Amino acid sequence: MKGKVIQFRRGRHTIKEKHFLIEIEACKTRKDAEKFVGKDVEWKSPAGKIIQGKISGAHGNKGVVRAIFEKGLPGQAITTNAEIK
C-alpha cells in the first residue's frame, strides 16, 4: 500500500529527525489509521537505498499516521512515496 511522506513530526522549536507523518491513500479517519499501527514502512531513495521504519500511531483525525524510521530521512523525502507492508 502506498503512502505519502508529508512532514517531519515537529514542535514549535524542534524537529524529530526520525519521526515522520505519512498520509495513506486508503485512510480518511482516525479509526482507519489505527489499523496500520505496527506495520512496517519502507522509503526508497532515488539512489536505491531503502530506509525502514514502523508505524507508531495515528496523528489527528484525518487518517494521517506517525512513522519512526531507523535512520532519519533527508528533507528531499517530503512529498515522496513510501511503501507500507
Residue 68's pLDDT is 96
**What number is the average pLDDT over the span 57-63?**
94
**What number is the average pLDDT over the span 49-71?**
95
The fold adopted by the segment(s) 2-84 is Thrombin, subunit H (2.40.10)
Residue 84's pLDDT is 94
Strand partners, 67: 20, 55
Domain boundaries, the chain: 2-84
In this predicted structure, the answer to whether residue 80 has a pLDDT above a threshold of 90 is yes
Our CA angle for 3, 30, 72, nearest 5°, is: 40
In this predicted structure, the answer to whether residue 16 has a pLDDT above a threshold of 90 is no
Other CB atoms within 10 Å distance of the CB of residue 31: 11
Strand partners, 68: 19, 54
Strand partners, 20: 8, 67
